[in-house]
Structure formats: C-alpha cells, structure tokens
Amino acid sequence: MSITIVFFLGFLAALIGVVPPGLLNMTAANISLREGYARGIMFSVGTCVIVFVQTFIAAIFARYMSNHLEVVEVLQRVAFIIFILITIYFLFIAKKSTKPSVELKIRSKHSRFFQGMLLSAINVLPIPYQAYTTITLASFGWLEFDKISILSYVSGAVMGTFVMLYMYIFFFDKIKGRSFTSQKNMNYIIGGVTGVISIITLINIIKEM
C-alpha cells in the first residue's frame, strides 16, 4: 500500500477521532479566544507530540495482536457491540439533549505547550481507538505493520489531530454561536460514522466465520 494512502488513512482516522467536542479541542479553542491564536496553536502542538507517541504505541500493540488472531476476534466482537451502542446513543438519545456545552475555564501560568502535552497524556482513549483502527485497516489489506507504514500512519494521525484542533481554534466562534444546532448535527455525524464502522466490523466478522 502506498505510504501516501497510509498517511491519508491515519489523517482521516485521527480527524474523525477528534471531531467530538472534548477536553483537548475545547481547551485549545478556549485558550485561543482568551490568549490569542499563537498560544492556542502552541497548546495544539504540545498535544500532537503526545498523540504521536500514543498512536505509535497503539500501532505496535496492534501489530502484536495481529499475530494473535484469537485476541483480535474477541476484540472485534466487543468493538462491534460498543460501536452499536455508541451509534444508538448519538442517533436516538443524545439528540434530545438541548443543554449547551459548558465552557471550560483554564487559567494556567505554565507553558501552553507543556499543558497540551499534559492533558493529552491524561487522555489515553486514543490508544485503544487507534489500536482497533489499525487492526481493522490491516485486516482489509490497507495497512502493513512495517516501519515505514507505521511511521506514515502515525504522521497522518498527528496531522489529522492538529488540523481538527486548528479548526476548533479558528472557527470556535461560529460553533459557539450555534451551540445547540451544531451539537445536534455533530451527534448525527458521529452516529453516522460509528454506524458505518459497525457495518464494516460486522462484515469483517462474518467473513472470518
């Protein structure tokens, strides 16, 4: 598989993973609004440094699991159930909520770069997310676990994370001004994405039976 395609796959996977409003992207936007774009970007760069490490660890872990198919089969079935539940939540439950997101208030005198590293290190969810994603891509033959492919995928994931943080920083005013509408639409998007992932996972499980 071309390293350009692998890079794009990592970029897309990370972009989707950072779309939902969370601690990192909302903090980046908040810092930018209060202290300027430069500090918001420095926070994002610090975040991406840890994302690189986390995604690399996830890829190595996925390579290990790819050699133990019995573990992969169990994880696929567990992931399928989880993605189904997430899809149901975002499509049928979360959309009923009209409560606007609470704006984060972070006042730190420390470097925003190291603050980004710290908060990103606390957020360990990207590791299982990227591990499962890389296993799924490898099962379809779209990713190989050699050094070049792993580095290409990890680099794409870092770039995807930074781009989404960048979008939150520079377009947060529009998102904030339409908090309810944007959140409702975002719930549909997330539910749709996880629904597609669920279908792909189900097809993969059936193929292996």
pLDDT digits (tens, 9 = 90+) for 7-36: 999 999 998 888 766 678 878 888 887 788
pTM: 0.66
State what percent of residues in the chain have pLDDT above 70.
Answer: 71
CA–CA separation, 183 vs 204, rounded Å?
31
CA–CA separation, 179 vs 133, rounded Å?
30
Average pLDDT over every residue of 89-100: 60
Summary mean pLDDT of the chain? 77
CB 154 within 8 A of CB 62: no
Per-residue confidence (pLDDT) for residue 206, from 0 to 100: 79
The alpha carbon of residue 145 and the mean position of all alpha carbons in its chain are separated, in whole angstroms, by 20
Domain limits, the chain: 3-79+105-174
